[in-house]
Structures are given as C-alpha cells and as structure tokens.
C-alpha cells in the first residue's frame, strides 16, 4: 500500500514543483548559500537539476572556491551513488536519468550533500523519484563519518506527511527559497 501512496504523492509533488518553479524563478539559492557558509571547505555534493528542480548551481559555484564540490553519478540500479569532482565549467556528459555529470575527475566522499527531492515534510522525510539512490547512499556515508544531508526544494514542495518506509534516509535540514527547516521527530 505504501507504494501506491508514494506514487500518488509523486504525481502531486511534480505538479506542485512545476507551479513553484514558475512562481519563484530559477535562481533562489540565497538561503542555501547561507546554510552552506558554515560548511566551507568540507567536501560538498550538489546535483545537476533536471526538469523543474530547483537549481543549486550558484551555491555550488560559490562553495567551489573554498573546497571540493562533486556531483552524484549513478553506476547502476540498486547501487549507492558515487560522487565525481565538479568545477564550474568542467566538461559534462548526460547521465543515466538525464542529469549532467562530470565527464571525468576524481571520486570524492562528500560530508555535506545538497539532496534533490520531489516532496518533503517537517520530520525530515523526503520523497524522491523512486530509485532509492540516496536511501542507499546516505547510511553508508553516515557510517563512515559525520554527514549533513540538506534537502533543497521550493517551499511549495512541502507535504504534510511524506509516505515513508523504514529504508528511507532522513534529511538533516531542508532549505527552501523562504526558510531553513530543522526537522522535528
């Protein structure tokens, strides 16, 4: 039954995100950059936006001046993500799901991740596209050391309660164009 709930939630979230993108415009990274300031120099993973996703690239570009920045690379189904070094203007190729990824570069283990999503709730719940990549990746990173997972989304992507499964990895913070949300249990 949870899969049906997630399917319906994804459909509604896509529509809300499209509306939010049209209303807010593409560049809304001010709040995200303010949060990232406290993490300068730590390895940072961002993402290449696809479709109507909010764009973290301006914040990633600012952070690249002080430390390594990387992007997620999908290496296959049911596998955790790996992260390849990214710099502004580096050569990019299209990855398996249409997101741009660096054509080459060192592999980096991020300590701070800007996580894409379709919907979030104030408990730190995240609804993604259904591939489970971040849900497989975050626990392994957290076992290796301190990791901060920051969901980045438009405020309209908030849901009262995202349908969650025990394997869904929670977010540590959510940043929208309007506010920074510290999840409550």
Total domains in the fold of the chain = 1
Residue-number span of the structural domain to which 58 is assigned = 2-181
- What is the tens place of the pLDDT at every residue in 86-113? 999 999 999 988 899 999 999 999 999 9
CB atoms within 10 A of CB 8: 11
Q: Which residues have a Cβ under 8 Å from the Cβ of 173 and sit 6 or more positions away? A: 35, 148, 149, 150, 151, 180, 181, 182, 183
Model confidence pLDDT, tens digit, residues 20-74: 777 776 567 889 999 999 999 999 999 999 888 899 999 999 999 999 999 999 9
From residue 18, give the alpha-carbon distance in Å to each of 5, 13, 93, 99: 20, 9, 25, 17
Q: Which two tokens stand for residue 182?
A: 């510290």
Q: Phi then psi for 137, rounded to 5 degrees?
A: -80, -45
Q: Which residue has the tokens 């799901």?
A: 97
CATH of the domain at 138: 3.40.50.10420
- Terminal Cα distance for the chain, rounded: 23
């Amino acid at each position: 039954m949870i899969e049906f709930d997630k399917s319906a939630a994804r459909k509604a979230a896509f529509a809300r995100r499209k509306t939010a993108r049209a209303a807010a415009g593409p560049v809304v990274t001010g709040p995200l950059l303010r949060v990232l300031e406290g993490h300068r120099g730590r390895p940072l993973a961002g993402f290449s936006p696809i479709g109507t996703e909010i764009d973290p690239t301006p914040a990633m570009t600012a952070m690249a001046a002080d430390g390594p920045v990387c992007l997620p690379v999908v290496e296959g189904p049911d596998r955790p993500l790996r992260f390849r070094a990214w710099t502004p203007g580096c050569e990019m190729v299209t990855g398996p799901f249409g997101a741009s990824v660096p054509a080459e570069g060192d592999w980096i283990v991020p300590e701070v991740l800007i996580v894409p999503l379709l919907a979030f709730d104030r408990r730190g719940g995240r609804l993604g596209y259904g591939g489970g990549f971040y849900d497989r990746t975050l626990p392994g990173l957290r076992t290796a050391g301190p990791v901060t997972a920051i969901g980045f989304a438009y405020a309209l992507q908030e849901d009262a309660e995202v349908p969650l499964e025990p394997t869904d990895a929670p977010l540590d913070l959510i940043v929208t164009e309007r506010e920074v949300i510290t999840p409550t249990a």
